[in-house]
Chains A and B, each alone.
Chain A
Amino acid sequence: MASIVIFSLVEIAPGDPASFMLGINAQEDTISALRTELGLDQPKISRYFTWIGGMLTGDFGISYTYRTNVTEMVGDRLWVSLPLAIYSLVLSTVIAIPTGIYAATKRGKTGDVAVISATQFGIAVPNFWFAIILVGIFAIKLQWFSAGGFPGWQDGLVNGVTSLTLPAIALALPQAAILSRIMRSALIETLGEDYIRTARAKGLSVWQTIWRHALRNALIPVLTIIGLQFSFLLAGAIIIEQVFYLPGLGRLVFQAITQRDLIVVESVVMLLVSAVILINFIVDIAYMLADPRLRLDSI
């Protein structure tokens, strides 16, 4: 279903890829020869089925512009985008969960107010602006990190991780702010339950109660948001990749759109949509791991 929408959306894009590739001075017959070579003269419906059929077998087709295998191109870029998404997700979770728990236990006190104000700011800050400021401070003034680019993983893990650190921080900040608010409100809600009072009454300390009883129950909404955020991080890194000149999926789509490389655009967008659906499925499984009650319900 989604594939049809992507295909038609990309197809209505003005600009013939063949004439775009050959420039404005190209001969009419050269253009039509290239169109035949790329399969652009086929009817739209048969092209759609060729594309979607190839997709299912892992063959994304050949890029119009670079004449290379799209599967390989996407695969290469995925090695930047996926680690970046995971890195920033880990950062955001590591920041958000403890601060959220802290704020919930200090509800209404100074610590809580401080966390809440900080998260308000975190949500309001555009991540690419934050990225520019980070570059200004850490890459140019202090020279701790490089201002952009990605050396590739063959130079060793440390180099790769270092060059992804600033982008990951920039991406993680707004996500952490949102996540920490969710964690706080979910935990506050759980702490109001009767079984929490029972646990306290039987002599458990505040932290034991949170650790053994409250946290697990408060995790459901948090997991939902983490899942949503992961798909956002994978797809939404386009702007951050622009700031840091990272060769990720986002930049690939961006370049492909300007070059009318339709097959690359279609493939990457389809991949991202599938990723979103897959992640939603994984989140559903994670629910059941976190909350045994759901397991009983659904099986």
Chain B
Amino acid sequence: MIRLNTSLQFSIILCLLPLIMATVSYFWQPFDVTELNISNRLKPMSLTHPLGTDHFGRDMLSMIMVGARTSIAVAFVAVGIGVLFGVPLGLFAATWRGSFIDDAVMRFNDLVFAFPSLVIAILITAIAGPSAFNAIIAIGVFNIPVFARVSRGAALSLWQREFILSARVAGKTGLRISIEHILPNLMHILIVQATIQFSLGILAEAGLSYVGLGAQPPTPSWGRMLADAQTMVSLTPRLAIVPGVAIIITVLGLNLLGDGLRDAFDPKLRGSIKK
């Protein structure tokens, strides 16, 4: 199987950190994140509050833990939408390459790619009302062409291979070949792409929440913690640094994981970094 080199191990640790925090927060949180305690506000780091408290006296560690849930959930479902719609589209296009299905899929891709993703995400969330759910849809829509393009490109080169030819000779239909032979061989490319999109999703969610179009109060979110911290950045820079570091750790971990997995799957690429 996959050999775990040091950088891969490191990235897995980084990725597990927010995942564990999010999971633990379902069973136990150091403090209730909805409870305001003004007399306890802006407390520096201490044993009771390892990351201090914010301007409402909420425990920062608890907020980061619950915020991790939002980020992970939004990014995960958004990637799911991309895979669920994008991969079949890409496979269809590759199976009947040159046909009108292929053309339609590729034109649709070009169309979505021509839109500045952030503007449309803001448009969608503004039209449908700001909420975590709409943020998921907005981010997810832009994952569809990404996965469609990646799977079509990789599938096209697979279709040239001998084992596909022999499957055709055996009398399998295009659809069966796509599902039984093409898809399993695409898996490693899709996993790598999914980690990249996941990290972009985390960043996008933070951005949308920052401008107030993501998860709504009182649900804690890393992006909104940053928005709240902005006015107090000179007084207590900790408020901005803590959620920022949380985002950086998660995104960094996912990017390294993507690079590491690609190297592990395809040793030819090892050492050369492509993006």
Contact = CB atoms under 8 A, between A and B. Distances in A.
Nearest to A234: B116
A265 to B, nearest CB: 7
B171 interface: no
A239 B123 contact: no
Contact of B119 (A120, A128, A235, A243): A235
Contact of B275 (A1, A128, A182): A182
A265 B230 CA distance: 27
A5 B118 contact: no
B273 A181 contact: yes
A124 B255 contact: yes
Given A120-B255, A129-B244, A136-B233, A178 B275 contact: yes
Interface string A255-292: 00110000001001100110011000000000000000
Interface stretch (A61-69, A157-165, A184-192, A200-208): A184-192
A231 interface: yes
Interface string B202-228: 010011001100000000000000100
A39 to B, nearest CB: 21
Interface in B225-253: 226, 229-230, 233-234, 237, 240-241, 243-244, 247-248, 251-252
Given A126-B206, A235-B119, A258 B240 contact: no
Interface in B102-146: 107, 111, 114-120, 122-124, 126-127
B161 interface: no
A13 B125 CA distance: 10
A126 B207 contact: yes
Given A124-B251, A141-B234, A231-B116, A188 B272 contact: yes
Nearest to A243: B230
B114 A2 contact: yes
B206 to A, nearest CB: 5
Interface string A128-143: 1100110110001100
Contacts of A9: 120, 123-124, 127
A10 interface: yes
Contacts, number: 130
B244 A242 contact: no
Contacts of A38: none
B17 to A, nearest CB: 14
B252 A124 contact: yes
Nearest to B199: A124
B116 A235 contact: yes
A2 B273 contact: no
A78 to B, nearest CB: 15
Given A126-B244, A128-B226, A129-B247, A265 B274 contact: no
A50 B4 CA distance: 61
B211 A239 contact: yes
Interface in A234-252: 234-236, 238-239, 242-243, 250
A5 B122 CA distance: 15
A5 B114 CA distance: 12
A12 interface: yes
A128 B225 CA distance: 12
A49 interface: no
A118 to B, nearest CB: 12
A184 B271 CA distance: 12
A238 B256 CA distance: 28
Contacts of B241: 133
B118 A235 contact: yes
A5 B120 CA distance: 11
A125 interface: yes
A232 B116 contact: yes
Contacts of B237: 133, 136
B34 to A, nearest CB: 25
A49 B225 CA distance: 44
Nearest to A5: B111
Interface string A200-244: 000000000000000000000000000000011011101100110
A102 to B, nearest CB: 15
A65 B203 CA distance: 32
Contacts of A121: 248, 252
Contacts of A243: 230
11 contacts: A2-B111, A124-B199, A126-B203, A126-B206, A136-B233, A235-B116, A257-B127, A269-B115, A269-B116, A272-B116, A273-B114
Given A124-B251, A235-B118, A272-B116, 10 more contacts: A1-B107, A120-B256, A135-B233, A141-B234, A178-B275, A234-B116, A236-B116, A236-B118, A238-B119, A239-B118
**Top 10 closest pairs, chain A to chain B, by CB:** A235-B116, A136-B233, A140-B234, A257-B126, A124-B252, A124-B251, A129-B244, A13-B127, A124-B248, A236-B118
Interface of A: 1-2, 5, 9-10, 12-14, 108, 116, 120-121, 123-126, 128-129, 132-133, 135-136, 140-141, 178, 181-182, 184-185, 188-189, 231-232, 234-236, 238-239, 242-243, 250, 253-254, 257-258, 265, 268-269, 272-273, 276-277
